[in-house]
Structure 1
């Protein structure tokens, strides 16, 4: 289960924010809601602590089974912007394309999130 501060959002709010995102009318509140929502969904579907997924400035989550870390930088880190994370989570962007274009930075073992995407 996701930490209390990071939970999937209300489905109606997600649908409304996605509609604005796809229509290029999303604001910071929509990006924050969708980023946190999809990070929470990832943590629920791939529980673990071997990969830290960061979507600054909105949130980060540890997910994916494997080597657990307790201090410092995790063994694998994924970082991207909110628009890219939302596109990956919804299947509008493929992991390989995001990585090849430099829209996502992924380092370490298990940093490839392809098996867990899309999240919708």
Structure 2
């Protein structure tokens, strides 16, 4: 099942741009790293879901493969990067990364970076490919 319906791609792109613009405005008023690590523009639940799903879709296009599962609960999960596939008995790949929606979108939009969020304890990652810093931020048109 795709992470986003083809008919929802434009809505997702629009939602991500809206989140990014709001986050950048908030980032300009940030006085510390702690301020940046708490940026979370408020969108409707549907807009948040579409922004997350669209950004995960873009990640899949950038790094296709079955090796790492990226979970952004409660909205979506995708498998990316080459590597061992999931065990046929439990369907979970050997590498799993879990993030909250606000953390994921800050990374996607370049508000914060992987090491900042990881050091703050905002990323749960296990496996040898537990770092997506080379893929983020994503280009936002």
Shorter-chain TM band: 0.7 to 0.9
After TM superposition, the structure 1 = structure 2 runs for residues 58-77 of structure 1, keeping only pairs within 5 Å, are 58-71=75-88, 72=90, 73-77=92-96
Backbone CA RMSD of aligned residues = 2.0
Contact 2:20/2:109 (<8 A) preserved: no
Counterpart CA distance in 2 for 1:86 and 1:29 is 15
Contact 1:54/1:77 (<8 A) preserved: yes
Gaps of 5+ in 1: none
Aligned to 1:42: 59
Q: Please state how far the C-alpha of 1:82 moved relative to its aligned partner.
A: 0.3
TM-score, normalisation: structure 1: 0.85
Counterpart CA distance in 1 for 2:20 and 2:59 is 17
After TM superposition, the structure 1 = structure 2 runs for residues 109-120 of structure 1, keeping only pairs within 5 Å, are 109-120=128-139
TM-score, normalisation: structure 2: 0.74
Structure with greater Cα Rg: 2
Counterpart CA distance in 2 for 1:22 and 1:32 is 19
In the comparison of the two structures, how many residue pairs are matched?
118
Aligned to 2:112: 93
Gaps of 5+ in 2: 26-40
**1:115 match: secondary structure:** coil
Counterpart CA distance in 2 for 1:84 and 1:95 is 10
